[in-house]
Structure 1
Amino acid sequence: RCGWDRGAPGGCEAGGCGPPRSGGPKTTGARGSAARGGPAKSGAPKAAGAGKTGTGPLRGTPPRRGPHGQRQAPARSRELDAKIEERNRARHDKPQVKTPKTFGEEEGERLQKVLARAGMGSRRACEELIEHGRVEVNGQVVLEQGLRVDADKDEIKVDGLTVASQSHLFFALNKPAGVVATMEDPDGRQCLGDYVNNRETRLFHVGRLDTETEGIILLTNHGELAHRLTHPRYGVKKSYLAAIQGPIPRELGKLLKNGIELEDGYARADHFKVVENTGKNYLVEVTLHEGRKHIVRRMLSEAGFPVDRLVRTSFGPIPLGDQKSGWLRRLTNTEVGMLMREVEL
């Protein structure tokens, strides 16, 4: 009771706590409490566990406790344990389903990224190459962007030229006279390896050049390409400039093309021409696809014109150009593609 005037009409005996307002008596009791948003009060006691869901024990049931007083889960029957174990075994014995590649981790790299890394241009420029149908993967023209490829396994071509993977290295060296055409020399003489000794990947030379012969020699770590470039089956041509003393008869070129007999068989030139003539000094160009030892020197000497100086000016489609003596340069991707096309790679 709030102590309101018990004698006053509409006081606490009427259920209110103040004088009645105009318009009728105030709602009282449980209905008044519910009207204000609170729970309705009831005189009946709430049943134990009422309002709880699930299969657990009722509140009135004391929980199972262990030897140290900790709560324990209710005991399960042996039949239930057996069913659970059987279900677990069945789940683990199922054959593992392989996730399709579409939803798993994607393999390879995007084609435009491989092309850009190979030196074909920026990513956008490589995407334009794809859009214009200039790129082939394993013999199929690619027009869609985002195709994933393996640069070491897939054959990628741009405008018909093979794109070499980043793991392969290709160099052209203008070998000076006096340098031994080996990667190492046990006698300590200057050799090809002295020009590439700072490379992490081991390189090897393609073919050979005489110690006193100058000019272009290729270095790479692509074994199959090196093998094919020097194999007689593919007939890769090499051109040389030779300084000799004249006068030279007109039939010298025809003689060299028909073949000159040497101690190890006939040797034939594919092409011969006089490049320069100053008095008795002649500069001639000889092109041939053979690779026998001292082949150009022996052919001209057998014809009666010993060589004073010899320079190899091209190896297949790769020219020496204006590359300085002793300089090493990396082949462009286009040059590598031309070499591979030369030997059907």
Structure 2
Amino acid sequence: MKKRKERYSKEKQTGPSKKRTFRKVSKKNFPAAEKTTEGIRLNKYLANAGVASRRAADQLIESGAVKINGKVVTRLGTKVLPGDKVEFGGETLREEKHRYLLLNKPKGYLTTSDDPFNRRTVMHLVEKACPERIYPVGRLDRNTMGLLLFTNDGELAKKLMHPKHNVKKIYHVYLDKNLTKNDMLRIAEGLELEDGKIIPDSIAYVAGADDKKQIGIELHSGKNRIVRRIFEHLGYQVIKLDRVFLAGLTKKDLPRGKWRFLTQKEINMLKRLG
């Protein structure tokens, strides 16, 4: 108590201690931070070069199939820096410009990048479109027509094919006989097929058609021949099948057998999906 009184008495005589002041430090007093180049992950570099998806690229890296500057690299997460030489399969790779192309596929073409029997494939229709190697996203069977997307953007292709992103697809179906109202309701409620239950997002008769043989059906499933199998399950034969809508893209101004590059607006739309 005595010490406290003495301290108080001293402060009263001399006044309170002065506040500390801090000199404003200018950025000029510090050297600029050194700029560093982070590079790009090797699996992404391989995907950009059109070699494989990122997941498949990881497997190639771990197997020792990729070299950087002449040395085999097996560690995942390795970065490629500007000036590095990346090799795969004895060839030096370079990051390709991403291309996005939409084809209105005609009947009679296989959706594959290579056919051992030399049959017509969709690659024959787009082979002169660009110098980059592009691949179809998903597939349409040989006798199905309509929209098919091609790209060398492995990440986007993987995204569009994954069912969790609910990519919207609409098909114009031509049947061998009228679809009954009862069968349409059965399809709408869901059918149990050999590989599981399938429920379309919507189904309806095509407006303006003279009969009930023309059906519009919306799905996001990517199962093989799924539209044909839905109707075959109920005893109908699909005479003609045309995919008229794919992930926001339509056939407007795109004749059968022709292709076009996507606009930047369309590319941005696809990348926002999901």
In 2, the alpha carbon distance for the partners of 1:178 and 1:278 equals 27
For 2:195 and 2:168, locate their aligned partners in 1 and report how far apart those are by CA, in whole Å.
20
Whether the aligned pair in 1 keeps the contact of 2:105 and 2:257 (CA below 8 Å) is: yes
C-alpha displacement at 1:301, in angstroms? 1.3
1:257 to 188, 193, 202: 188
Task: Map 1:299-314 to 2 at 5 A.
Answer: 299-314=230-245
Partner of 2:111: 181
Q: Which runs of 5+ in 1 are unaligned?
A: 1-98, 105-165
Equivalent residue number for residue 127 of structure 2: 197
The offset of 1:299, in angstroms, is 0.2
> Given residue 178 of structure 1, which amino acid in structure 2 is its aligned partner?
G
The one of 131, 150, 171 equivalent to 2:101 is: 171
CA contact (8 A) 1:184 1:192 kept: no
1:297 aligns to 2:228 (yes or no): yes
Q: Distance in 1 between matches of 2:120 and 2:237?
A: 26
1:334 equivalent in alignment to 2:265: yes
Letter in 1 for 2:123: G
Q: CA RMSD in A?
A: 2.5
2:110 is paired with a residue whose SS is coil
2:62 alignment counterpart: none
Give 1:100 shift: 3.8
Hey, what does 1:241 align to over in structure 2? Answer: 172
Deviation per residue, 1:162-181 (Å, 9 max, x gap) = xxxx9211000011100010
- For residues 87-145 of structure 1, what are the alpha-carbon distances to aligned partners after superposition, in whole Å with 9 as ceiling and x for unaligned? xxxxxxxxxxxx8479x9xxxxxxxxxxxxxxxxxxxxxxxxxxxxxxxxxxxxxxxxx
Report the secondary structure of 1:340's partner residue.
helix
Q: Deviations over 1:177-205 (max 9, x none)?
A: 00010122221111121123232111111
189, 194, 218: which one pairs with 1:287?
Answer: 218
3-state SS in 2 of match to 1:296: helix
| Cα distance in structure 1, aligned partners of 2:197 and 2:209 | 28
Distance (whole Å) between structure 2 residues aligned to residue 251 and residue 170 of structure 1: 41
d(CA) in 1 for partners of 2:157, 2:138: 8
Q: What letter is aligned with 2:245?
A: S
TM-score by length of 1: 0.50
With over 3 angstroms needed to count, the CA separation of the structure-2 counterparts of 1:101 and 1:187, relative to structure 1, is farther
Counterpart of 1:341, as a letter, is R
CA contact (8 A) 1:313 1:321 kept: no
Shift of 1:216: 0.3
How far off its partner does 1:322 sit? 3.7
Alignment deviations for residues 301-337 of structure 1 (CA, whole Å, 9 cap, x no partner): 1123211000001111111224111101000111111
Structure (1 or 2) with the larger CA radius of gyration:
1
TM-score if structure 2 supplies the norm length?
Answer: 0.62
Q: Supply the AA of the counterpart residue of 1:180.
A: L
Deviating beyond 3 angstroms after TM superposition, the runs of 4 or more aligned structure 1 residues are: 99-102
Higher relative contact order (Cα pairs below 8 Å, separated by 6+ residues): 2
Q: Which residue in the other structure is 2:137 paired with?
A: 206
Contact 2:97 2:132 (C-alpha < 8 Å) held by counterparts: no
Classify the secondary structure of the residue corresponding to 2:269: helix
How many percent identity over aligned positions?
34
